[in-house]
Structure 1
Amino acid sequence: MNRTLITIAAFAALLLGTAPAPAQKPDPAQAALKAAIDKELVDGDLKRAIDLYTKVANTHKSNKSVAAQALLRLGQCQEKLGQSQAASAYERLLSQYADQKEAATARARLAALRGSPASGSVQARLVWDNAMDDWGSASADGRYLSFVHWPTLGIAIRDLSTGTNHVIPDSTLFGRNRGEAGGNAISPDGKRVAFAYYRHNQPQDQRGYTELHVLNADGSGHKLLIPAAGIDYIEPQSWSPDGKWISAMINRKGDNHGYLALVPTGGGEPRYLPIPPKQGLEAAFFSPDGKWLAYSASPIRGAGRHLYLCSPNSATDSEVKLTNNAIAMGWAPNSAGIMFSRESSGKHDLYFQPVDAGKPSGEAKIIYTNTDIGTNSQGISTSGTLLYGIGNRRSEATLYPFTGDLAKLGPPTLTFPVTGSVSWLLGGGTMRFSPDGNRLLAISPSGRELIIRTLGDGIVRTIAPRLMRFTRVEWSPDGTAILLQGLDDARHQGIHRLDPSNADISFITPLPESTWNFVPSPDGRTIYYGGPNRVLARDITTGQDKEIWTGDGLGNFQLLITRNGQTLVIRTTRLLVAVHLATGQARTLYTNDGLEDGHTWASALTHDDTKVLAIHRDGSLNKMQFGVYPIDGSTPSRFPAPGEIRGLHVSPDGKLLATTVLTRRDQIWALENFLPTN
């Protein structure tokens, strides 16, 4: 048997704030702690959260687990606000609850507070609460921040010194319904912004963030730096200190790899750097002296992201791998080292990697462990301030009683934390009912474990599959196994079978690395798979493929199959199509030809296979809608959905609806006085 982590526990003991069963009342201590956490993470109100954590710690002293968590979070909030009382909270935790798991973190924070490696007091300062967006970068002086202005789908600049936003005129380029701005980077002087652009209603080979543009802050000086031809995706990363070059991540058509390129800001062909292609290339920062580029990427799909360094001026491969499990956050102002974020136990800490002449000049050192620094850096200013974005994202699996009417959902009977990863939420959601309806399969918050809950007795099992990665899951048709799309240690890319009773894994069939999603046929003999523009049927026995559908889809992709195996439903961002498998006839249930009509983010079949339920995000970009689409093509209906929901699945008897409720509050923080003294 594979050595795979399997734990069994009562659900209430496993997940904070979850009602084990509708008949039981929530524990008052846990309810109070959850309210405080919501105040901190969802509302972003640290001062009020401090009051609530203090009350929890004083009122529920006998609940050691809750009190320890409250004291730890209390200290962390106080540190964020620069309050000296943080040490007192950690000391109290160690004095009264030294046997709790939070004690180790409190001990580390006390040590850091009493002997900080930085000059002065390390302080995280909130500079923009409830930010509209955190997809952008900061000017060299840290005053200006570029971001996507979602109401107009253009680019805006925030002046962090005054708290005002300035929308760049004409940055929507061709009108709100014809395109949208994406990844962006502001120039060092804050006067220009480079941004990717996504044209709507274009031929398939021109869709996506495939163009790179630059504009002055006043809307003048527009230039198309890179046209869409031959580009599948592009995202600017940073500007060179002299403002003459932009580092950009580029995916070419027909190539699944990412390439690092330098784009001349005055116009001209991009210069691809002579380094090996990567997966998930991101966070490419120029050093302040302009001599080096630091960036993060995976050498192959499925591997962790590493920190690399190369020369932007070398004609040969100058790449040096600095360390594993690291996301670049920016350079020290004197170019003597790189800050990076590293994940450990679900939390990201900040590290400093000294470098000299393009090579490591010492061991990486941890320099900030207070709270989760995340991985979204806007850059480090010339004065040594790190600007970074925190989404305060919470993603909760939510189970509703269901009568078949989406407009009449009652209060949920069950909630618990699940992954908030966009790829899971938009790829079909995080939950699946077993074929017999007795179990619920979900993806853990880390995205690395499976959670299986028995609905009758509330028992939960967590399983960490022995795979390098997995990106999609489905129950086997008979409910005896779980099918995972992923990559194992032997580099088998495709569908794997996991036995929940002992966590053994076996490889079933290979699938291309470009596969977005899959679903098994009811008889278990066929795997339907593909992407937004093509769907195939794989005969598991013979390994032969048959083309089922080709079309002009886009983006988020999901496959559904009726219980009788006769109809395959294909969901993309802009299409819902029902294909009759015996005849190949395809019926379009929904199509989106304009942004205002909304993108489709989830779908599910009703228990009787007569309708497709869908979730749409409307053109205002801040409201969700339900859609109901009869399989026979009769009149559909749409109406408002409650909040930010992702993913849908209906139980086999049609009495339960599983979805995921997403809450977030974007914030921009400034970390100061964190640099090593030397």
Structure 2
Amino acid sequence: MRGMTGILAVGLVVFAGCKSESSRPADGSGVLAAAGLPGSVPASTTAGQDSTPLVARRVWQPDFHPFWGGPSPDGRYLSFTDWTKGDLAIHDILTGEDRPLTSDGSLTESHEFALNSTFAPDGRRVAYAWENLEGYHELRVVGLDGSRPRTLLSDPAVNVYPREWSRDGEQILVSVESLEKERTNHIGLVAAADGSLRLLKELDGRGDGMSLSPDGRFVVYDFPTDEDSPERDIYVIDVEAGGEHSLVEHPADDRVLGWAPDGKHVLFASDRTGTLGAWLLPVADGRPAGEAWLVKPDMWRVEPIGFARNGSYFYGISTRMVDVYVAAFDPETAELVETPTLVSQRFQGSNSDPAWSPDGRYLAYISVRGAAAGVLGSEVVVIRSVDTGEVRELEPKLMRISHLRWSPDGGSLLVRGRDEKNRRGLYQIDVQTAEVTPLFEHETAAYGEWTADGKALVLYAFGEGVRITRRSLESGDEEVLYRGPAPSFVVEPLGMSPDGSEIAFVHHDEGGTASFVIMPVAGGAPRELVRFERGESWPIMNFRWSIDRRYVFYVRGGDEGAGLWRVPVEGGEPEKLEWLDAGQLRFHPDGRRIALTRGQAGNEVWVMEDFLPATVDTSDER
């Protein structure tokens, strides 16, 4: 999946009166001119890098993560995944309307959904990745005319993610992820006519940004400079000759945004000035043809989307603001005794995943730092003393850290994350030294909880459905506790009881009906607490037991019934708690204090215009 940052958003579709970062009035020129919309004029030609002020304006504020799509050639539409259903859709920037292109995704029933997508150069087709019922991602193409999707490449050994079409529409640049060889992916080209795949470059799972030159001769991509470094340089592959060479070598972190439609420039993101900015490098014959220059500073946590034909560049920005709070809590009434208090005023809006230590003396949480989230060094683990307020910060060599869990002895933390080689797994962090020990490195390892003695993990993992297992940390032996169909959406799908004897999770049957169940860790049949009607259970997440084990709390998404609920463990009707707008909820060991997260997710789509120094071909090539 493409991107530098995280997921999920909240907002409202916006176009009229868009915010602008230029002193020049918004006159309708630029990206909308290429679409031939009323009141627009043809895209202008710039004579030099400083002759015309760049315009950057917000064009969309969706209430979900929209960044795995791309713009239509004329810049009027953006493809995206409609996460309410899982279908591929397009957003009309002019009218603000959304239109589905597929009707196969249902999430709550089929568990199928669309992922990365990109427009064909004729503007009449979209290539996209589709997670099928077997759990792997195939490459499909669908027309904007409502025609049925066509499967172009389907192989259970790989996941295929489209990045860009070639200008002639004959090939699709793809990232190919191996499901058989751990942490291996390839840069490849798929023939649009018959789906044949040509692999160009094998990577070790850390390949991220890539783009195809307009003439189809070169692929530009970014890759870490060495095994232990988060910084990337940029390289070029000669598609026909097969050789490659460096394009951007710099001590900073440099990442591909896209090859400009004029074929003469490569746009990339770099933090070489201390903050992340967009830089433009002139190129000729796949090599540097001059010095790169800064075209836009302060590209805070940028998510690349892509170029329109006229040279306008679309990108996403995360505006997520989430913080950790603490409050006194009445366990009998399940009500707050006081207004929640902000834990820290430093790095506000970037703190999440609270976790109390077993003795209740410390509160740990994750804090995101820097402009490029989701890269090595961008997250720290903060450990705060409850009594003194003293803070220590751990900087583990991990990225995309989440799901903090203290070990029963209080000496370490279990986390989800990725190591310096981008290997996803479960890791143990020493709370004194920040030393990282891999516990379970595998793509299908989703979540884990400590057993009461700290000698094993209960794992929730994917692979031909869901498996819940208990794995010994000493021997590696694994015992299967549960097997079932995979849910479509999971966020913290396991809830361990305070004494470590039972786990809570959602069971899905083959017909799509879901039940909220608890099950002994020692083994045994799940016991149903709540049954959900078909389609209403998406998503159920963030399970938390009360300290006295009388209730299990959970967060329910969807349109109806969304919010925090609790259900008695011994049986009874679930109760919705109206007082709490919390995302994550953690009970203090004394049962009378809670830590919770509050805030809002947010994403914005922006477009940069008038920054290329030469005339861009806006002809509608076929």
Q: Shorter-chain TM-score: which interval?
A: 0.7 to 0.9
Relative to the length of structure 2, the TM-score reads 0.75
Q: In structure 2, how many angstroms separate the alpha carbons of the residues matched to 1:509 and 1:385?
A: 43
Instruction: Say yes or no: does 1:195 pair with 2:121.
Output: no
TM-score, normalisation: structure 1: 0.70
Residue 407 of structure 2 aligns with which residue? 476
Instruction: State the secondary structure of the residue aligned to 1:379.
Output: strand
Deviations 1:166-213 (A, max 9, x none): 5145x21366854443322122232222223345xx4xxx136x2333
C-alpha offsets along residues 578-621 of structure 1, whole Å, 9 cap, x if unaligned?
33233444445567785442123322221122333222222x4x
**How many percent of aligned residue pairs carry the same amino acid?**
23
Q: How does 1:461-472 map to 2 (within 5 A)?
A: 461-465=392-396, 472=403
Report the AA paired with residue 181 of structure 1.
Answer: A
Question: Which residue number corresponds to residue 518 of structure 1?
Answer: 448
Partner SS for 1:390: strand
2:95 maps to what in 1?
Answer: 163
**Closer, same or farther in 2 for the Cα pair 1:478/1:152, shift >3 Å?**
closer
Instruction: Give the whole-Å Cα distance in 1 for the aligned partners of 2:315 and 2:363.
Output: 36
Matched, 1:265 2:226: no
Partner of 1:286: 212
- State the 1:654 CA deviation: 1.8
Report the CA distance between 1:642 and its aligned residue.
7.0
2:135 paired with 1:207: yes
Quick check: 2:399–2:417 contact (8 Å CA) kept in 1?
A: yes
Over aligned residue pairs, what C-alpha RMSD do you find? 4.3
Q: Answer whether contact 2:171 2:192 (CA < 8 A) is retained.
A: yes
Secondary structure of the residue that 1:197 maps to in structure 2?
strand
* Distance in 2, Cα, partners of 1:661 & 1:156: 30
1:314 corresponds in structure 2 to 240
1:431/1:328 Cα in 2 relative to 1: closer, same or farther (>3 Å)?
same
Where does 1:268-667 land on structure 2 (aligned, <5 Å)?
A: 268-279=194-205, 281-296=207-222, 304=230, 306=232, 308-311=234-237, 313-314=239-240, 316=242, 318=244, 322-323=248-249, 325-343=253-271, 347-361=275-289, 364-369=292-297, 371-404=298-331, 408-409=335-336, 411-414=339-342, 416=344, 430-446=353-369, 447-465=378-396, 472-484=403-415, 495-499=427-431, 503-506=432-435, 510-514=439-443, 515-532=445-462, 533-554=466-487, 556=490, 557-570=492-505, 577-587=517-527, 589=529, 595-618=535-558, 620=559, 624-632=562-570, 634-635=571-572, 637=574, 639=576, 645-667=582-604
Residue among 669, 672, 675 paired with 2:606 = 669
Say which structure, 1 or 2, has more relative contact order (CA 8 Å, 6+ apart): 2
**Within 1, Cα distance between the matches of 2:243 and 2:181?**
20
Deviation of 1:651 (Å): 1.3
Contact 2:517 2:527 in 1 (8 A): yes
Answer yes or no: is the 8 Å Cα contact 1:118–1:673 preserved in 2. Answer: no
* Distance in 2 (alpha carbons) for counterparts of 1:252 and 1:154: 24
CA distance in structure 2 between the aligned counterparts of 1:47 and 1:172, rounded to whole angstroms: 30
Work out the CA distance in 2 between the residues paired with 1:539 and 1:570.
Answer: 21
Report if aligned partners of 2:415, 2:428 keep a CA contact under 8 Å in 1: yes
Deviation at 1:129, TM superposition (A): 4.3
Correspondence list, 1:61-76, <5 A: none
Task: Figure out how many residues of one structure are paired with residues of the other and give that number.
Answer: 556
Q: How does 1:42-61 map to 2 (within 5 A)?
A: none
Distance 1:517 1:222, change over 3 A: closer
Q: Sort the Cα spacing of 1:617 and 1:333 in 2 relative to 1 into closer, same or farther, 3 A.
A: same
Query: 2:87: which partner in 1?
Result: 154
Residues 535 and 549 in structure 1, CA contact (< 8 A), matched pair in contact too: yes
Q: Indicate whether 1:139 and 2:139 are aligned.
A: no
Amino acid across the alignment from 2:211 = F
Which residue is 1:7 aligned to? none
Q: Distance in 1 between matches of 2:66 and 2:363?
A: 34
Provide the rounded CA distance (Å) in 2 between the counterparts of 1:591 and 1:327: 47
* Native 8 Å contact 2:460 2:467 kept in 1: yes
Contact 1:483 1:498 in 2 (8 A): no
Which residue does the alignment assign to 2:29? none
The 8 Å contact of residues 341 and 374 in structure 1, kept in 2 or not, is answered as: no
- Secondary structure, aligned partner of 1:601: strand
CA 1:649–1:570: 2 relative to 1, 3 Å: same
Query: CA separation in 2, counterparts of 1:221 and 1:517?
Result: 36
Task: Tell me how far apart the structure 2 counterparts of residues 408 and 262 of structure 1 sit (CA, whole Å).
Answer: 57
Aligned ranges 1:86-165 → 2 under 5 Å: 117-130=49-62, 134-135=66-67, 136-150=69-83, 153-160=86-93, 162-165=94-97
- SS of equivalent to 1:478: coil
1:430: how far off?
Answer: 0.9
What letter is aligned with 2:199?
A: L
Q: Is the 8 A contact 2:12 2:63 kept in 1?
A: no
Alpha-carbon distance change, 118 to 672 in structure 1, aligned in 2, over 3 angstroms: farther
Shift of 1:137: 0.6
1:267-325 Cα deviation digits (max 9, x unpaired): x2341423113425444322222222233456999863735545474374647574573
Return 5+ residue gaps in structure 2 as ranges: 1-9, 26-47, 370-377, 509-513, 616-622
Equivalent-residue separation in structure 1 for 2:540 and 2:608 (angstroms): 38
Whichever residue aligns with residue 611 of structure 2, its letter is F
> Which 5+ residue runs of structure 1 have no aligned equivalent?
1-40, 49-76, 85-115
Taking the aligned partners of 1:168 and 1:488, their CA distance within structure 2 comes to: 37
Inter-partner Cα distance in structure 1 for 2:273 and 2:355: 26
